[in-house]
Structure 1
Amino acid sequence: MSQLSFDKADQLREFFFAMLESIPGGLLLADRQGQLLAANRQAGAMLGLAGVSIIGRSCWELLERALELEQSALEPLRRPGGRLLIEQEEGRDRGGPRYLLIARNELQSPFFDVGGFFLSLEDVTYPAMVEDHLHRRKRFAAIKELAVSLSQELRNPLGGLELYASMLERDLGDDPDYRRITGRMLAAIKTMNHLLDNVLTFAVQPRPEMKPLAVKPWLDKVLADLAPLGEATGVRFAARYGHRQKEICGDAAMLEQMMLNLGLNALESMPEGGEVELVTRSLPASRQSPPLLEIRWVDRGRGIAADQRDRIFDPFFTTKDGGKGLGLAIVHHIVESHRGFIRVDSSPGHGSVFKVFLPDNVTQE
């Protein structure tokens, strides 16, 4: 038996294409802009493109024409993890419509500037499979619609409450007791606004608008927002800045939301009070990774059991009474959408350390 060897680029390329053709379902491989890099025969057959040259074309244009869809219908596939179930009329010889499930999966490395995605195509025409997918799609569509509607409805009364509480704080500011009460009112309103942000982010999963962001002012603002929440539970927030970056590139609102989620997670893990530390440092480029900004949240709370650590970033998974299980799932989504990654070290009774690594993709002095 001959042994496979990948010493030459053409051998590796042949193996790669053989692997693509061996996959049972259809597969379209594209770069970050959606330009097709490779496709297998199964994908061509499913889309009715046998014998047509498709490499280098836009996968969105291709799907739009092959499936006779509007561009807006493809919107779910423009987001990481997106899925789309298509119903196609196949004629009487097939006995009814065909159902095609398209799912997007990201090709991304935290260490190299390599990225793109692939679309997997699966024929799910069997009634039991179709019914399951349809019910799931309708359920999540209803959740998304409800989340967006509730967020919009609650913003106005919360804005009014914040205005009145601010006016009350101004008029009663000389009395320390009243000032403490109004401060807690404002902190509670900010918490409710933040929870609405989490629900909306989970429902819509927006893509980040990447712009230069000053690191220290961003982190200072997060700590200032968390301070009054910590006062109510006896938790102090401290910072040790060791980073050299003046700026990174990212979406300011999403990154602020991510950091608030991590700060609140640390706060909630310490019901008896204590200190939470925010620590930063710069990691230089290496053969395995670009320059990185590392941000650590260090708490001394209850910690996380080993069998739960792999699940804490899953939506709706929570270890807290009354928790919704969205905070850390949104953290994971925001970090990944910024091409970063997150790690957690924890043990029950000894607290946790959440480490966020963001690419330093703004030139520094």
Structure 2
Amino acid sequence: MISELPKRDLKDGLNLLNQSIDSFNRISAKFELYYRQLEKKVEQLSEQIRIKNQQLELNLKEKEEIKNHLHHILESLPTGVIVIDLKGRITTFNRAAERITGFLAREVITKSFRQTFGSSLFSSLPLDLEAPKEMETQVYTNRKEPIYVKLSVSPVRNFHGNRVGTIISLLDITRTKKLEEQANRAKRLAAMGEMASKITHEIRNPLGSIELFVTLLKRELKDQERLRIIVDHISAGVRSIGNIVSNLLLFVRPQQKSTQEVIDLHQPLRESLLFTAHLLIPNSKIRIITTFSSTPLLVSGDPELLKQAALNIILNAIQAMPEGETLEIITGRKNSSSNGTSVAEVKFMDTGIGIPKANQPKVFDPFFTTKRKGTGLGLTIVHNIVKAHAGTIELESLEGKGTTCTITLPLWGDKRSGLTS
């Protein structure tokens, strides 16, 4: 009886242990199944994350490419683009804006637009416009150079239509304005030329008669000194009118009596300097310095007209230096910015009184002069002679500092060289 109890307990214990093992095995199997399911789920999630990451990377790459593409487009535009946020800070400043304004993007990005441009017209532009506004005006760059620009100011809006900033586009139209001024000047010159042609024709006929009668009168009054002096004054006046008429004719048709030949541009320059030397008094304080090209500058044209043009400029420079200063004449070759060909260039640089800014646009206009005895045709004739030789003439001046007159002519062999009507 006593020995049967432990056997029963042992058997029960074994049964309980077997049940526990079976239960553990079932739970282990379930855990293993859950683990495999979880592992598979993790693999699926990892694959989804990998795909999402690839898509995200692709999207980021596409956005970066689009951003770079738009940036390259923005930087390649000939129009300057400036974007300003609602706080008035510059957020975009492309390469054209740098070129036009003279500021560098790295200097102005995040800076206040008003403070950056100070008191210039840019700073007074309205930045809170609800509609675009356009204008053409003259402004000064960071280099203190005056330029003409076409401005457009527009609001920048988000997807909801709310204004988030301002965009300013600016186009440098300085060259266009200069071409317009040249075209207008050409029209004025043509109209004045026609008028001058009629005037000179009407004046020359009676002028010849007056000159003849003055000569005869001199012979009759050879013994009357007082009257001869009066006649001499009349004769001088007739000669003065004759010179004006001759200048008018040269202004009207500078190429009419011309001969065309290939010459070294230094030849008419030296001849005009030789003529000028006789006009300067021995004690004159005016110094003329020449820095001529070591190689000939061959041009096709009329040597007499070119000498006349050089002489007019030199005389103008001398008259602008009453106290005695320096005139420097420099010659050389230069690449033309318009078509890349080489041109002959002559610079006349004086250190005289300069030309007031208000008068500078008028210097090539006929009959414009600030001299008491001037006809106002000297530079007009120069302008016509240079244009007749397919050249260019530019004048830069600072009042009280001096004036630089630059002439370019096509070198011989260029299809543009030679006289044109």
TM value normalised by structure 2: 0.41
Structure number with bigger Rg: 2
TM value normalised by structure 1: 0.47
Higher relative contact order (CA 8 A, sep 6+): 1
